[in-house]
Amino acid sequence: MIKAGIIGATGYAGAELAKLLKAHPQVDLLWLGSRSYKGQPYSSVYMNMRKIADEDCRSEDMNELAKEADVIFTATPQGFCASNINKEILESAKVIDLSADFRFKDVNVYEKWYGRTHEAPEYLEEAVYGLCEINRDKIKNARLIANPGCYTTCSILSLYPLVKDGLIDPATIIIDAKSGTSGAGRSAKTDNLFCEVNENIKAYSPVVHRHTPEIEEQLSYAAGCAVMLNFTPHLVPMNRGILVTAYASLVSGVTDADIEACYRKYYEDEYFIRLLAPGQCAQTRWVEGSNYTDIGFITDPRTGRIIVMSALDNLVKGAAGSAVQNMNILFGLPETCGLETFPAFP
């Protein structure tokens, strides 16, 4: 059994992780860390976990946790992991960080987009960007995994094959994304009150959203050149789900058959990716509660563009599920272990 601990177990992503790890057949979840609820029964915070996780919440002390655990998940605000990680921790436990702290190779990108000083730039080089479908081999031997962002996972999986194989012009990429409200976290802000979110849709942080450089960096590796794009997230009145609608100009001569073949080449054997028939539109309801990403596309012969539409559950494949998938790879388990839950509908 893998001994696992979570720091930040009472946020929405942390809670999803707690749920997945409690149900994981190879994991002993021994630490539910929470700054706000330390000392209180976990199931008094998340009452769905009554009879399942009635133990008290523990502290956010990573050093202490590292002594007990084989793997530490940090589902914490930006900066926490970078401020707390150290040599001793990394020598005794694998670390899977769900924040953005170790997602960039260039510390300047992080510091510019996140507006904060990085406390542990010395680990940026060794950290592995944990997008399993793409970096599986590098993940295997890593000590520190930078678990990708929710929007990022959906965006990169949507476009990676097309960029990698040169089917689209990377200078024309526009990503219009829509997210359920759990992506905004559980802290008490007026903007996230029921009455403010319900019966509304809005874009937020257009042009400057922090997932932009993360998508760009990964697509740049695929393209072999610097990619710059527009990414516009929107807040949707629903709990879960991310939908990406991505636009790009096709390279001249590329056919629907080429595109299908390209997606199949990269994803046909991927358990957690479901390719839709050409013209079919992905919908968040079909992936809710699961680790799947559904990917579909359509092309427009009039404008020469492709529209890629993809959906995933922001708390599962976009956060906790992906983190568990990374753990499975790190510990040599089947990648699907503990992640086979079918999507729930309605």
Angle (nearest 5°) at CA 322 between 280 and 142? 135
Q: How far is the CB of 294 from a second copy (least distance, A)?
A: 8
Q: How far is the CB of 311 from a second copy (least distance, A)?
A: 8
Pick the closer one to a second copy by CB: 3 or 234.
234
The answer to whether 200 contacts a second copy (rule: CB under 8 A) is yes
The answer to whether 4 contacts a second copy (rule: CB under 8 A) is no
Identify residues 297-316 at the interface with a second copy (CB under 8 A). Answer: 298-300, 302-303, 305, 307, 309
Residue 334 token pair: 């089947």
Spatial neighbors of 21 by CB under 8 A, at least 6 apart, are 4, 6, 27, 29, 73, 324, 338
Identify residues 236-255 at the interface with a second copy (CB under 8 A). Answer: 236-241, 243, 245, 247
> Which of residues 48, 87, 115, 141 is near a second copy by CB under 8 A?
48
Q: Are 260 and 278 in contact (CB under 8 A)?
A: yes
> Which of residues 94, 103, 178, 209 is near a second copy by CB under 8 A?
178
Parallel, antiparallel, or unpaired for β 230-235 and 202-203?
antiparallel
The answer to whether 182 contacts a second copy (rule: CB under 8 A) is yes
Find the farthest-apart pair of alpha carbons in the chain and give their distance in angstroms, rounded.
Answer: 63
User: Of the candidates 340, 140, 342, 156, which has an alpha carbon nearest to the alpha carbon of residue 266?
Assistant: 156
The answer to whether 340 contacts a second copy (rule: CB under 8 A) is yes
> Which of residues 67, 112, 116, 202 is near a second copy by CB under 8 A?
202
Length of the chain: 346
**What letters, b where the CB count within 10 A reaches 16 and e where it falls short, cover 2-21?**
bbbbbbbbbbbbbbbbbbbb
Q: Is 57 noted as a catalytic residue in this protein?
A: no
Q: How far is the CB of 21 from a second copy (least distance, A)?
A: 11
| Cis geometry, peptide bond prior to residue 346 (ω within 30 degrees of 0) | yes
Strand 144-146's sheet: what is its strand order?
27-33, 2-7, 71-74, 94-97, 144-146, 128-129
Spatial neighbors of 203 by CB under 8 A, at least 6 apart, are 232, 233, 234
Identify residues 83-102 at the interface with a second copy (CB under 8 A). Answer: none
Residue 213's Cβ-side half-sphere holds a number of Cα atoms within 13 Å equal to 16
Residue 67: count of CB within 10 angstroms of its CB:
11
> Which of residues 294, 318, 320, 333 is near a second copy by CB under 8 A?
294
> Which of residues 28, 61, 111, 176 is near a second copy by CB under 8 A?
176
Cα 172 to Cα 207, 209, 227, 304, distances in angstroms: 15, 18, 9, 11
Pick the closer one to a second copy by CB: 61 or 176.
176
Angle (nearest 5°) at CA 102 between 98 and 107? 145
Segment contacting a second copy (CB under 8 A): 55-63, 121-129, 144-152, 234-242?
234-242
> Which of residues 206, 225, 255, 334 is near a second copy by CB under 8 A?
206
The answer to whether 115 contacts a second copy (rule: CB under 8 A) is no
Segment contacting a second copy (CB under 8 A): 1-9, 67-75, 97-105, 225-233?
225-233
Segment contacting a second copy (CB under 8 A): 11-19, 27-35, 112-120, 324-332?
11-19
Segment contacting a second copy (CB under 8 A): 108-116, 120-128, 261-269, 276-284?
276-284
User: Of the candidates 151, 169, 131, which has an alpha carbon nearest to the alpha carbon of residue 212?
Assistant: 151
Catalytic-labelled residue, pool 57, 81, 132, 150: 150
The answer to whether 269 contacts a second copy (rule: CB under 8 A) is no
Q: Are 288 and 235 in contact (CB under 8 A)?
A: no
> Which of residues 196, 256, 258, 260 is near a second copy by CB under 8 A?
196
Pick the closer one to a second copy by CB: 192 or 220.
192
Q: Count residues contacting a second copy (CB under 8 A)? A: 80
The answer to whether 225 contacts a second copy (rule: CB under 8 A) is no
Catalytic (active-site) positions: 150
